[in-house]
C-alpha cells in the first residue's frame, strides 16, 4: 500500500478559511443552517471540490456533494460530515469531516487517478439542530428519506420562522426535499473529532469507531411529603431530596463500576418548592444512560431502574418515569472497521478502537448503508465550544487513514 | 393546686370566629399584617380582652395588649403569639397562642381574682414576614427595641409598598415605633401548635419547650467541569452532580444518625446548565442544619463542613459556601420549664419536653425576658397550610397548662 500524501498546509488553510466564515468569540464559529455564513461556507466547499476535480451538485435540502465517478459505476462510497455548528461551536465539530472527505478524494485523484468505484464527499446540513431544535440530522435524514411531507412547515426555529421559510430564503424548494433521497450509497464513512478525552489520555491520535452508543433518557419524578425543615424529625420524613441524592449517587456509581464505555449522567434537576427551609415535596430529574453494547446497554438500564424502584420503595416515596429518548446502538460494519484498521497500519498511523458516546449523522446513514467512523484526538476532550482543538498532525493522520481506507475500497 | 376551668365551647367559638376573618381555601386563613382582615381580627381580640376584664391598648406597631394588673405591681408576666398568617396559613399557627393567653387570663381572673403580679396577653404582628419578607418578628422586635429608625422605609412588601405606608393606612405612625419598646417584662410564655409530628407520634397532647433550635443556612457552590454526557468517560469526570449527591446523602444521614432533635435539610438546588445530556458545570444548593444543644449544634455543623470539604477534594471539585443565617439556640429558662411541668402535673395533663425546630417570637422576647413555650399536638405535624389542625381537647389541655403555670407565677 503506497503512502497517501496529504498536505498539512492545505489542511490548515482550509480549516482557517472555513473557521473565518461565521467566526465568533475568538476561535469560535457560529454558522447555523441556511444562514448567510452557511451559504458562503458551502459555496467555498463547492469551489474546492471543483478545483479538486470533483463534479459538484447541491441537493434539495442543501447538502453539497463532490463526486469522483468510478470506472465501474455502481453504488457510491461516501464520506463527509456537517457544515453547521453550535451557537457558537468551534472550527472542528462537523466541518473537519466534510473537509477531510474532500481532501482525501483530492489526494486520491491526484495520486491514483480515477477509481473503480464511485467516491463522493458531502457537506451535510443541520446536524446540530442549533437553529431548528427539532431538525437534528436534517441533511442526512433527507438522504435517507426520513423527512415527512409536513416537517418543513412544522419545524420551527428558536427565533420563530419555519425551516421551509428559511430554505426559500436561500433558494431551496421545500417541496423538492424528497428528491434528495439516495438509494445508491453502499458505504458511508464519517471522520469527526472525538468530543471526549479518551484518545488524549491514551496518547493515540486516531480511533476507528466500532459503534455509536445506545442511549436512554429517563425523566424521573420522585414525590414525597413537603415538611418544615426544623419541626419535622429526620426519622419521620419522606424526603424526595434524600431519595434523589441516593439514586443519583447510585446510577453514577453503577456506570462507573461497569467500566468504559458505560456512562450515566444526571444533568437536570428541578425541585419543588425549592426553598432552603422546606423539605421538598418533589424532585424531578433526568438520567442519561449510554452503552454501545446491545446486551450491556439493557443491563445498565435494568440496574438503574431496579435501583430507582428500590430506593423509592424503601423511603416511602412515589416514583414515576418516562423514557423520552431511547436509541439503539449503531454498530459499525465489522469488515469496514477491520479495513480502516488495516489501512491505518499501512500508513503507519497508530489507531485504537472505541465507541462514540455522542450521536452523529452516521446513525442516520446506517439506515441505507454500511457505516464506520474515524475519530481524531481532541484537546481536553472539548467540543461544542470555541475552545475545541485538534492538531494538524493528528488531523493529517486521520485523513490519511480515511483516504487509505477509501483507496482500499474503491481502487 | 386547684383545677383551672377552661370552657371548650368558648375556645372553639373563638377559633372559628377568628378563622372566619380572612378565611381562605376552606379551612385556611389569609391575614397579613396591616390588612383589613388583620385590623378586624385585632379589634375582635381587643373586645374579648375588654369583656374578660383586661385593660386594653394597642402599641405603636399594632400589637394589642390586654392587662390584668397585679396588686404588687412590678414587671409583667406576658403570654401571647402572632395574629398574622401565611398566605394562606391555617387557623392555629400564631392565632392560637394569642387566644390562649386571653382565655387563660380570663379564666384566672374569673376563678382567682386579681393576681399579685401583673399578667398580660398580647396579639403580636408580622411574625411570618408573609407580607413584608424582611419583617419577620416585627411586633416582637418593636417590643425588644430592635427595629432601626430606617427599617420602616426600607422594609418593602412583596407587592411593593413600604411597611411605613402600610402602617399609616391603618392609622399607625411609623415615627412612633420606638415607643413600643418594653423594659418591664419579666417573663414571656408562648403557646403554639407544634408544627411537627413528634407529639402525635408520642401520643402526648402537650409539650413544654426547653429550647428553640440553633440554625445555620449554608449556601454552597460546587464547581466541576462541564462535559458531554456521552463522550466523556466516568473515570475522567469532575462531576459536581456526583459530588452534590454524595454530600446531600451524607449530611442527611449525619443528622439522622445523630438522632433527634438534629435535623438537616437540603431544600434548594440549582444546576448549571441543567441540560439532560450535559455533565453539569456547577451545582448550587442549600444545607439547613439545626440543633438546640449549643455543643451538639457545633458538632453537627463541623461534621457537615468536613464532609463537604472531603467530598469536593476527593472528586477534584472546587467548593465554596456562605453562611446566610446563623442563629444560636434560644434556651428556655430552666426554672420556668420545671414550673410549667409541675403545673401540668397539677392539672393532670400529660406533657413531654421537646425542642422547637422552628423559629418563634419567643426568640426575640428572650432578649429582654425569661422565656418558655408550650406546644399543642398538631395533626400530621402540618402547619403553614389550611390543613393545620389541633383538637379542642388538646388545645384546652394546653391552655390549662399555660394558665396553671401563670397562676403559680402570679398568684
pLDDT in tens, A107-165: 999 999 999 999 999 999 999 999 999 899 999 999 999 999 999 999 999 999 999 99
The single residue listed with the C-alpha cell 430606617 is B150
Q: What pLDDT, on a 0 to 100 scale, did the predictor assign at position A2?
A: 87
Most B CBs within 10 Å: which of A212, A236, A238, A245, as the mutation test of the B interface? Answer: A245
Residue bearing the bigger pLDDT, A106 or A133: A106
Q: What integer pLDDT is reported at residue A246 of this predicted model?
A: 98
Mutate to test the interface with A, among B229, B237, B355, B379 (most CBs of A within 10 A): B229
Of residues B195, B256, B274, nearest to A228 (C-beta):
B195
What is the distance of C-alpha A106 from the center of its chain?
25
Answer yes or no: same fold for B8-212+329-410 and B214-327.
Answer: no
Mean per-residue pLDDT for A262-288? 96
pLDDT surpasses 90 at A1: no
As a whole number of angstroms, the distance between CA B375 and CA B262 comes to: 18
- Specify the pLDDT at position B69: 98
Q: Which residues pair with A331 in a beta bridge?
A: A211
On the CB side of A213, CA atoms within 13 Å amount to 27
Give how far A81 is from chain B: nearest CA, Å.
18
The stretch B345-365 carries a mean pLDDT of 97
**pLDDT tens column, A216-244:** 999 999 999 999 999 999 999 999 999 99
Residue A250: is its pLDDT beyond 80?
A: yes
Phi and psi at residue A319, in whole multiples of 5°? -130, 145
Give A-chain residues touching B264 at CB under 8 angstroms.
234
Instruction: Return the residue of A nearest to B236 by Cα.
Output: A197
| Contact present, B262 and B300 (Cβ < 8 Å) | yes
Between chain A and chain B, the number of residue pairs with CB atoms below 8 A apart is 211
Query: What is the structure's pLDDT at A71?
Result: 98
In CATH, A214-327 is 3.90.550.10: no
Categorize the per-residue pLDDT at B2 as very low, low, confident or very high, splitting at 50, 70 and 90: confident
pLDDT over 80 (residue B302)? yes
B232·A256 Cβ contact <8 A: no
Whether B303 shows a pLDDT value over 90: the answer reads yes
Average pLDDT, rounded, for chain A: 97
- The arithmetic mean of pLDDT across residues B65-82, rounded, is 97
Does the pLDDT value for residue B1 go beyond 80?
A: no
Cis bond upstream, residue B273 (ω within 30) = yes
**B144, B105 Cβ separation under 8 angstroms:** no
Average pLDDT estimate for A343-372 = 97
Averaged confidence pLDDT in chain B: 97
- Write the pLDDT tens digit of every residue in B133-163: 989 999 999 999 999 999 999 999 999 999 9
Nearest Cβ partner of B276 from A197, A232, A268?
A: A268
**Cross-chain CB nearest to A230 (options B241, B244, B290):** B290
**Candidates B230, B263, B275; nearest CB to A215:** B230
Cβ A232–B197 below 8 Å, yes or no?
yes
Under an 8 A CB cutoff, do B276 and A235 touch?
A: no
ipTM of the complex: 0.91
Sequence spans of domains, chain A = 8-212+329-410, 214-327
pLDDT value at residue B20:
97
Closest CA to A405 of A349, A360, A366, A367: A349
Q: Give the SS3 label for residue B169.
A: helix
pTM of the model: 0.91
pLDDT at A296: 96
Using CB atoms, pick whichever of B197, B231, B288 lies closest to residue A277.
Answer: B288
Nearest to A230 among B219, B268, B358 (CB): B358
The answer on pLDDT for A338 being more than 80 is yes
Name residues whose C-beta falls within 8 Å of residue A362's C-beta, 6 or more positions apart in sequence: A188, A190, A212, A330, A371, A372, A373
Determine which of A93, A136, A255, A265 to mutate to test the interface with B (most B C-beta atoms within 10 Å).
A265
What is the average per-residue pLDDT within B208-237?
96
| Region class of B365: left (phi > 0), else alpha (psi between -120 and 50), else beta | alpha
- Alpha-carbon span B289 to A186, nearest angstrom: 64
Q: Give me the architecture of the B8-212+329-410 domain, per CATH.
A: 3-Layer(aba) Sandwich (3.40)
Non-local (6+) Cβ contacts of B235 within 8 A are A256, A260
Cβ-contact A205, A394 below 8 angstroms = yes
Contacts of B268 in chain A (CB under 8 A): 271, 274-276
Residues above pLDDT 90, as percent of chain B:
98
- Segment B239-247 mean pLDDT: 98
Contact at 8 Å (CB) between A125 and A39?
Answer: no
Contact B277 A288 (CB under 8 A): yes
Chain A's closest residue to B239, CA to CA, is A265
The answer to whether the beta carbons of residues A45 and A64 sit under 8 Å apart is: yes
Amino acid at each position: 500500500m503506497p503512502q497517501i500524501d496529504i498536505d498539512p498546509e492545505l489542511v490548515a488553510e482550509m480549516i482557517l478559511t472555513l473557521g473565518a466564515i461565521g467566526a465568533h468569540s475568538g476561535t469560535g464559529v457560529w454558522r447555523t443552517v441556511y444562514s448567510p455564513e452557511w451559504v458562503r461556507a458551502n459555496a467555498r466547499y463547492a469551489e474546492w471540490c471543483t478545483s479538486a476535480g470533483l463534479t459538484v451538485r447541491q441537493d434539495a435540502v442543501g447538502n453539497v456533494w463532490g463526486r469522483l465517478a468510478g470506472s465501474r459505476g455502481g453504488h457510491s462510497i461516501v464520506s463527509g460530515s456537517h457544515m453547521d455548528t453550535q451557537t457558537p461551536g468551534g472550527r472542528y465539530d462537523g466541518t473537519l469531516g466534510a473537509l477531510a472527505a474532500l481532501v482525501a478524494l483530492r489526494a486520491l485523484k491526484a495520486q491514483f487517478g480515477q477509481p473503480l468505484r464511485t467516491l463522493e464527499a458531502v457537506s451535510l446540513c443541520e446536524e446540530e439542530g442549533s437553529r431548528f431544535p427539532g431538525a437534528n440530522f436534517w441533511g442526512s435524514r433527507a438522504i435517507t428519506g426520513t423527512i415527512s411531507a409536513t416537517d418543513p412547515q412544522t419545524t420551527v426555529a428558536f427565533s420563530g420562522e419555519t425551516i421551509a421559510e428559511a430554505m426559500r430564503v436561500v433558494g431551496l424548494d421545500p417541496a423538492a426535499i424528497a428528491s434528495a433521497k439516495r438509494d445508491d450509497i453502499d458505504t458511508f464513512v464519517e471522520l469527526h473529532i472525538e468530543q471526549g478525552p479518551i484518545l488524549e489520555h491514551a496518547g493515540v491520535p486516531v480511533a476507528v469507531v466500532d459503534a455509536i452508543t445506545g442511549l436512554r433518557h429517563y425523566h424521573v419524578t420522585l414525590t414525597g411529603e413537603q415538611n418544615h425543615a426544623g419541626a419535622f424529625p429526620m426519622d419521620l420524613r419522606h424526603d424526595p431530596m434524600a431519595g434523589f441524592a441516593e439514586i443519583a449517587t447510585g446510577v453514577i456509581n453503577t456506570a462507573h463500576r461497569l467500566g468504559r464505555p458505560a456512562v450515566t449522567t444526571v444533568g437536570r434537576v428541578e425541585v419543588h418548592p425549592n426553598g432552603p427551609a422546606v423539605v421538598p415535596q418533589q424532585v424531578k430529574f433526568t438520567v442519561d444512560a449510554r452503552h454501545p453494547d446491545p446486551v450491556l446497554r439493557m443491563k445498565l438500564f435494568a440496574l438503574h431502574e431496579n435501583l430507582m424502584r428500590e430506593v423509592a420503595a424503601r423511603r416511602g416515596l412515589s416514583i414515576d418515569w418516562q423514557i423520552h429518548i431511547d436509541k439503539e446502538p449503531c454498530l459499525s460494519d465489522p469488515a469496514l472497521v477491520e479495513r480502516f484498521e488495516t489501512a491505518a497500519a499501512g500508513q503507519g498511523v497508530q489507531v485504537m478502537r472505541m465507541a462514540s458516546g455522542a450521536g452523529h449523522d452516521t446513525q442516520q446513514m446506517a439506515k441505507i448503508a454500511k457505516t464506520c467512523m474515524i475519530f481524531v484526538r481532541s484537546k481536553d476532550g472539548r467540543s461544542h465550544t470555541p475552545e475545541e482543538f485538534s492538531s494538524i498532525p493528528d488531523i493529517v493522520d486521520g485523513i490519511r487513514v480515511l483516504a487509505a481506507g477509501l483507496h482500499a475500497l474503491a481502487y
